[in-house]
Amino acid sequence: MERLQRFTKDIVLTDLPLAGIRDLSEGKFLLFRSILVPSCRLSLREVVLAAEQLNDGLAALAAARSIQFFRLKPDWYGFDPFHMRPSQWRPAWQEILGVSSEARRKSHGRAEGLKLYFTLPERQWLLGREQHTPQVGIKLRRGARVWLY
């Protein structure tokens, strides 16, 4: 947050999709855990508790830094409780970012959305290896910039 606040004060931090995580059955949890993080041996109870603690920490961080904290809507998620359904990406991000209804009507199409979707974050792990991508901020047609940390 400190690095990002050097560039802008207009920051939105989202919470975690806790409703979907809390509603996971043991079987579905084991399926997702086996596919997404096969080396993990945490129980569903431990994951829910850790997610709740992390979410509380995100809310505290937002409050301490005077950053807008946005609560995600459970209906944006489907079978997979961790990732938004593709059909919800546009309306969800428009709501998260506070896009006005007028600006929604003047949308700049899917090209800009695809550019953002395929932009790499500053740090990510792929197949157990950490990758770094310098962040310069992607300039959008409306003049805003997006950094992915």
The pLDDT tens digits of the residues spanning 18-40 come to 999 999 999 999 999 998 889 99
* Residue among 109, 93, 105 at smallest CA distance from 146: 93
For the segment 40-51, the average pLDDT, to the nearest whole number, is 96
Q: 86 with 20, same domain?
A: yes
Are 74 and 19 in contact by the 8 Å Cβ rule? The answer is yes
As a whole number of Å, the end-to-end CA separation of the chain is 9
- Domains held by the chain: number: 2
- 59 in helix, strand or coil? helix
Write down the residue that tokens 């359904």 correspond to. Answer: 85
Task: Give the range among 21-30, 74-83, 108-117, 121-130 with minimum mean pLDDT.
Answer: 108-117
Given a cut of 60, whether residue 59 has pLDDT beyond it is yes
- How many helices and strands in the chain, by DSSP H and E? 7, 6
The answer to whether the beta carbons of residues 3 and 149 sit under 8 Å apart is yes
Q: Write down the pLDDT at residue 28.
A: 95
Provide the domain limits for residue 112: 108-149
- Is the pLDDT at 135 greater than 90? The verdict is no
Residues 76 and 24 in one domain: yes
pTM beyond cutoff 0.85: no
Q: Are residues 24 and 97 in the same domain?
A: yes
pLDDT of 145 higher than 80: no
pLDDT of 85 over the 70 cut: yes
136 in the same domain as 94:
no
* Dist CA 85 CA 26 (whole Å): 22
- The chain-wide mean pLDDT, for the chain, equals 87
Q: In terms of Cα–Cα distance, which of 58, 70, 76, 79 is closest to 1?
A: 58
Same domain, yes or no: 28 and 74: yes
